[in-house]
Amino acid sequence: MKKNFLTALAFLLLITISNANAATKSILVTPLATSFALSLSGGDQLSDVLTNSSGTFLIGTIETSTSTLVTSPAIGGSSDGFISSFSYTGQQLWSLRLGTPLDDVATAGYIDSLGNIWVAGATAIPTPQIAPTPLAPNTVNPSQIQVVPATPPTSGLKRLVVWEISQSGSLLNTYTADSTDVLLPSAITLNLKKITVSGVSNSSSANSFESTVSPIGLSQIKLSKQKTLPSKAVTIIKSSVYSWQSFATTKPIPGISGFKPKGLTSVLIKSSLKGGISELFTFSGKLVSLKYQPGFGLVLANNDQGTYNLLFYNTK
C-alpha cells in the first residue's frame, strides 16, 4: 500500500512540474507590420473587409472628395459608399463608388458562391420637388427674373439599399426598400438560401430591422425590438490548424512573460485548436476586421488614430 502511495505521489509531482514548465515556456511576442495604409482621410470610414481566393474587398463610406482610394465617380451629397478590391500583394485591382447625388453609406458585405459581392447600405430619400407656378400670360417681367425652386431637403438615411457587384467590379443590380425610420445595416448574410440584410433602426418602437433580397427587390422591412447586447470585446476566428483571438488590454497575459504593455495594446493570439498559446502578435490602433482566407492566411484591418491599415499574415 505504501509503495502504491509513493508511486502515485511521484506521478503527481511529475505532472505538476510539467505544468509549471509549460506555464513558463517562452512564447514569442512579435509586432505585426502594416502591409499598407489605405488612402482614406477626414471622416472616411472602413466598415467591413471580405476575402476570397482572388483577394480582399474593402467596404466603407467616403465623406471627403480628397480621398484617393476611390476617385470615380465624383462624390454625391456629403458621403458615398465604396468598395475597393486589392490583391494579396497589396495591388489595387478596382474600385467603385456606390450611391446617389444625396447622402449614402455602405456598411456590410457578403460574397456569394459565384463570386459576386453584395454590399448593404443606406441612402437618403429625396423630398419630392414642387415645381414653381409659372407666370401668367402677358405678365410684365422686364428683368427676366427666373423662378428657381429651392433644393428640397432629404429625409435622412431611410432608404435601405443593396448593391450587387461582379467580381470584376461592375455594378449588376441595385435593390432598395424605403422606411419611415433611419436604418443602418450591420450584416448581410445567406440564410435559408435567401440573402438577408439586418441592422439597427432609430424607430421609437424598435431598434433592429431585417429584409431579404429577391429577384424583384428587397422585401418589406421588418422592425423588431431586441435586447441591446454589449459590443464584442474579443474577436475569435479559426483556421484549419489554429485558433486566433484579438482584443485590447492594458494588463500582462498569464503565461506570456515577454508581454508587458505600457498602455492599451491590441493583441492577436495564436493558439492550437486545443487551447495552447504558441505565439502573440501586437499591433497599433483598434481592430476593424479579422478574416482568415484558406490558402493565404490572415487579413487584419485596423484603425490607428484615423488611419486605416491592412496587415497581411501568411499562415501557409
Per residue in 39-94, pLDDT (tens digit) is: 887 788 999 999 999 999 999 998 876 667 777 666 677 889 999 999 998 899 99
> 1, 8 in Cβ contact below 8 A?
no
CATH number of 28-128+153-314: 2.120.10
Of 70 and 208, the structure prediction assigns the larger pLDDT to: 208
Report the residue count for the chain. 316
> Closest by alpha carbon to 187, among 164, 212, 157?
212
Distances (CA, A) of 227 to 59, 200, 202, 206, 224: 27, 12, 14, 10, 10
156-170 pLDDT, tens digit per residue, is: 899 999 999 999 999
SS3 call for 164 = strand
252-286 pLDDT, tens digit per residue, is: 988 888 899 999 999 999 998 887 889 999 999 99
